[in-house]
């Protein structure tokens, strides 16, 4: 099993694009101007892209810890790093969402209006109840404990990824160490299709964990294929073909909204992007896309809090929701919300993804703090990666 850690900068930009598409999907609920564009906006399927990409990247970064003679301390190191990666931004946005609910109660009281679905009840079926708050604190809210997505709604997927982290050594033993590739991948596809087939649209939360496990398993298999057969994927590395796959991911999902093709298309996109060194690579190395990718986790967790908070402000000061404004004002509000979300996401990224984790991450194998070694040296990694590319023969 390889011990080399590799940085693939194109993944950073793809992660940012996927996060932005999900933000647009949620914004469309609050801003009618987005719906007036005539696009269905079914970007929630891009969460499955995150699951596959997460499985790939975690395997690339941590598979070396779980070789044949790994010890419990290796698992403990891995879990500490995953908790440090996931938890700070999650708990901060959860606390912010609690403040939003307190503010909502205050607004309804000031307006002498009966509050709909009051928070902090003991009814576990209420998405703003104390039982759901407790499960959110421990990131277990998506483990078949509730029927609804609760509190900061995007965090349901973080709960699923936390579960995958706990069982990651099992996924490696099942998928990474086996010599087979195509058959396990097809079995993952089949499992995903069965989940879709028996899915209850009124109780989606019950299948989210299966989505994450199957998507992460696909990512583990793709990473194994990437590490073992780097020189045998020139077709998928072609920029033209990869661009077509990306456009298919976007337009097929937006126009047809079909789960049936999303996983294969996402797998092709991720595997091809890992190999590509042509113009598709150069586009994704754009500094704006790279920055968007770096703040993507904070953007994903922060945007829903911002939407709810500012919507309460609109209700308090203008006595109407954002959807009630005329098209021009609605569009300007949408841009203002997006700007606030990007600013707060940037602050959250620097504080709770870079600074705070340094105090808890522990040493890496080299003896240096893990977060410093792998997050604060992105520019150096990209520069070193670019120098390696210049020494390689040109591929389109």
pLDDT band at 386 (very low <50, low <70, confident <90, very high): very low
5-9, 291-295, 376-380: the lowest-pLDDT one: 376-380
User: Residue 256: pLDDT above 80?
Assistant: no
pLDDT band at 392 (very low <50, low <70, confident <90, very high): very low
DSSP 198: T
Predicted local confidence at residue 3, as pLDDT? 42
Q: Please compute the mean of the pLDDT values over residues 212-233 and round it to a whole number.
A: 80
Predicted local confidence at residue 379, as pLDDT? 45
Maximum average pLDDT range among 125-129, 198-202, 217-221, 341-345: 341-345
Instruction: Please indicate whether residue 52 or residue 192 has the higher confidence score (pLDDT).
Output: 52
Residue 110 contacts by C-beta under 8 Å, 6 or more apart in sequence? 316
Q: Please compute the mean of the pLDDT values over residues 61-76 and round it to a whole number.
A: 76
Instruction: Please indicate whether residue 3 or residue 25 has the higher confidence score (pLDDT).
Output: 25
pLDDT band at 254 (very low <50, low <70, confident <90, very high): low
Predicted local confidence at residue 79, as pLDDT? 87
pLDDT band at 387 (very low <50, low <70, confident <90, very high): very low
DSSP 256: H
Instruction: Please indicate whether residue 365 or residue 212 has the higher confidence score (pLDDT).
Output: 212
Report the alpha-carbon distance of residue 191 to residue 196 in Å, rounded: 9
User: Residue 261: pLDDT above 50?
Assistant: yes
Instruction: Please indicate whether residue 390 or residue 137 has the higher confidence score (pLDDT).
Output: 137
Digit-coded pLDDT (tens) for 8-45: 888 999 899 889 888 888 877 777 766 666 555 566 77
Tokens of 137: 């604190």
Maximum average pLDDT range among 15-29, 87-101, 257-271: 87-101
Phi, psi of 369 (to 5 degrees): -55, 135
Predicted local confidence at residue 94, as pLDDT? 94
Report the alpha-carbon distance of residue 161 to residue 376 in Å, rounded: 23
Angle in degrees, CA 228, 264, 213, rounded to 5: 80
Digit-coded pLDDT (tens) for 288-310: 999 999 999 999 999 989 888 88
Report the alpha-carbon distance of residue 277 to residue 27 in Å, rounded: 34
pLDDT band at 113 (very low <50, low <70, confident <90, very high): low
pLDDT band at 342 (very low <50, low <70, confident <90, very high): very high
Q: Please compute the mean of the pLDDT values over residues 160-168 and round it to a whole number.
A: 89
Report the alpha-carbon distance of residue 353 to residue 395 in Å, rounded: 35
Maximum average pLDDT range among 84-93, 171-180, 209-218: 84-93
Query: For a pLDDT cut of 90, what percent of the chain falls above it?
Result: 14
Instruction: Please indicate whether residue 9 or residue 68 has the higher confidence score (pLDDT).
Output: 9
pLDDT band at 259 (very low <50, low <70, confident <90, very high): low
**Which H or E run includes 346?**
helix 327-349
Answer for the pair 184, 169: CB distance below 8 angstroms, yes or no: no
**Which H or E run includes 217?**
helix 208-228
Instruction: Please indicate whether residue 137 or residue 379 has the higher confidence score (pLDDT).
Output: 137
Predicted local confidence at residue 90, as pLDDT? 93
Kindly list the distances between the CA atom of residue 271 and the CA atoms of 70, 154, 245, 302, in Å, as whole numbers in the listed order. Answer: 28, 26, 11, 29
Predicted local confidence at residue 88, as pLDDT? 92
Maximum average pLDDT range among 137-146, 223-232, 234-243: 137-146
Instruction: Please indicate whether residue 232 or residue 329 has the higher confidence score (pLDDT).
Output: 329
Q: Please compute the mean of the pLDDT values over residues 130-134 and round it to a whole number.
A: 89
pLDDT band at 232 (very low <50, low <70, confident <90, very high): low
Q: What share of the chain is helix, strand, coil (3-state, %, to 5)?
A: 75, 0, 25
Report the alpha-carbon distance of residue 224 to residue 188 in Å, rounded: 15
Give strand pairing partners of 198.
none
Q: Please compute the mean of the pLDDT values over residues 208-221 and round it to a whole number.
A: 86
User: Residue 267: pLDDT above 50?
Assistant: yes
Tokens of 27: 């914004």
User: Residue 92: pLDDT above 90?
Assistant: yes
């Amino acid at each position: 099993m390889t011990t080399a850690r590799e940085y693939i900068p194109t993944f950073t930009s793809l992660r940012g694009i996927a996060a932005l598409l999900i933000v647009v999907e949620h914004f469309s609920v609050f801003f009618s101007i987005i719906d007036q564009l005539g696009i269905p906006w079914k970007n929630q399927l891009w969460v499955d892209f995150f699951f596959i990409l997460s499985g790939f990247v975690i395997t690339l970064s941590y598979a070396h810890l779980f070789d044949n003679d790994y010890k419990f301390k290796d698992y403990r190191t891995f879990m500490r790093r995953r908790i440090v990666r996931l938890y700070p931004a999650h708990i901060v946005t959860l606390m912010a969402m609690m403040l939003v609910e307190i503010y909502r109660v205050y607004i309804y009281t000031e307006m002498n209006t009966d509050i709909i679905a009051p928070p902090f009840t003991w009814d576990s079926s209420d998405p703003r109840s104390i039982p759901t708050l407790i499960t959110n604190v421990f990131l277990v809210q998506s483990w078949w404990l509730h029927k609804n997505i609760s509190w900061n709604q995007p965090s349901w997927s973080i709960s699923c990824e936390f579960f995958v982290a706990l069982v990651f050594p099992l996924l490696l033993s099942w998928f990474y160490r086996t010599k087979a590739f195509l058959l396990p991948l097809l079995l993952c596809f089949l499992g995903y299709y069965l989940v879709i087939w028996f899915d209850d649209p009124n109780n989606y939360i019950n299948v989210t964990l299966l989505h994450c496990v199957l998507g992460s398993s696909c990512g583990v298999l793709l990473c194994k294929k990437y590490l073992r057969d780097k020189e045998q994927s020139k077709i998928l590395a072609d920029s033209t073909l990869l661009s077509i796959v990306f456009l298919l991911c976007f337009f097929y999902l937006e126009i047809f909204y079909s789960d049936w093709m999303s996983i294969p298309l996402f797998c092709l996109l991720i595997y091809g992007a890992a190999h590509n060194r042509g113009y598709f690579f150069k586009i994704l190395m754009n500094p704006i896309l790279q920055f968007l990718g770096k703040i993507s986790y904070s953007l994903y967790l922060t945007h829903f809090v911002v939407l709810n908070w500012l919507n309460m402000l609109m209700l308090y000061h203008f006595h109407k929701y954002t959807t009630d404004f005329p098209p021009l004002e609605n569009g300007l509000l949408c841009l203002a919300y997006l700007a606030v979300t990007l600013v707060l996401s940037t602050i959250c990224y620097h504080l709770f993804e870079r600074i705070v984790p340094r105090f808890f991450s522990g040493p890496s194998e080299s003896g240096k703090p893990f977060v410093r070694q792998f997050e604060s040296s992105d520019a150096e990694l990209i520069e070193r990666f670019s120098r390696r590319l210049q020494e390689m023969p040109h591929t389109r």
